[in-house]
Amino acid sequence: MAKVKTRDRIKSTALGLFNNEGERQVGSSDIAAVMGISPGNLHYHFNAKNLIIVELFDDFEREIRQVLAAPVNEPLAIEDNWVFLYIIFEEIWDFRFFYRNMAALIERVPELAPRFSRILALLQRTLLALIGRMEASGHLVFRADEKNALSERLSMHFTYWLQYHGLRYPNAGAKTTINHGVYAALVQITPYWEGGGEGYARLISEFLDAQGE
């Protein structure tokens, strides 16, 4: 059982270091040094850094799927949308090193590419379902193909937001980054809001202000 704990500690230490220092800058020996264990001990659990990355991706995949599967299975009330989008971003934030240097990471660990692609497809389906329900309830109005295009744009927004925001506002904290990400996602819906969306735009702006960011 002690071995399992060490394995978990390796993963959580690696995740923290990858997220804060950048995955490329952190080697197995750094992880071992931070944990205060010998490189041999770490090697016993993971004989290559890529194996840690793949297991962290397992964790990320399980968690993000748990979140994304929910609204597809069960409709959410309209006021829960902010919170729901916040949680999606929170999941991405927790494993943000996957998103920061996605192309370079996939080049080194190619097995992540199809898995990432499936997550993005699920994200788009979830967002499509979300705006589809808002359309069904009469809040949104779309012309042909606009709904698919919007869901794709939103999916892209979720994929690259942290990268963009990190460059633009390097000192911003998690909550600020996420709340602004949610706001920027919801603003994209405004043009499709029934009746011009003035009230909706004001509402989400108020909501952002209320977060104290």
Partner 1 sequence: MSKDKDSKRNTGDTARRIWLAGIGAYGRAFTETKEAIKDMSGEASEVFDDLVQKGEMFEMVIGMKSKEMLDKTGVKDVKMPDIHMPDLHMDKRIKKMRDRLKASAGFDDDIPSAGLEARMDAVEAKLDEVLALLKPAPKAKAKPAAKAKKTTTTRTKAKVKSAPKPKKK
Q: Which residues bind partner 1 (CB under 8 A)?
A: 3-4, 7, 44, 58-59, 61-62, 65-67, 69-70, 72-74, 77-80, 83-84, 86-87, 90, 118, 122, 137-138, 193, 195-200, 202-203, 206-207, 209-211
- The residue among 25 and 137 lying less far from partner 1, judged by its C-beta, is 137
Specify the residue, 78 or 149, whose C-beta has the smaller distance to partner 1.
78
CB of 83 to partner 1, least distance (A): 5
For partner 1, the closer of residues 32 and 197 by Cβ is 197
Question: With respect to partner 1, which residue has the nearer C-beta, 100 or 115?
Answer: 115
Q: How far is the CB of 201 from partner 1 (least distance, A)?
A: 9
CB 96 within 8 A of CB 19: yes
- Beta carbon nearer to partner 1, 2 or 144: 2
Q: How far is the CB of 67 from partner 1 (least distance, A)?
A: 5
Contacts with 100 (C-beta within 8 Å, 6 or more apart), sequence order: 22, 23, 162, 163, 166
What minimum distance in Å lies between the beta carbon of 156 and partner 1? 22
Judge whether 21 and 39 are in contact, CB under 8 Å: no
Helix orientation angle between 174-187 and 146-168, rounded to the nearest 10 degrees: 150
What's the sign of the alpha-carbon dihedral 23, 29, 33, 35? positive
State the nearest-atom distance from the C-beta of 79 to partner 1, in Å. Answer: 4
Residue 1's Cβ-side half-sphere holds a number of Cα atoms within 13 Å equal to 0
**Non-local CB neighbours of 34 within 8 Å, separated by 6+ positions:** 13, 17
CA atoms within 13 A on the CB side of 57: 22
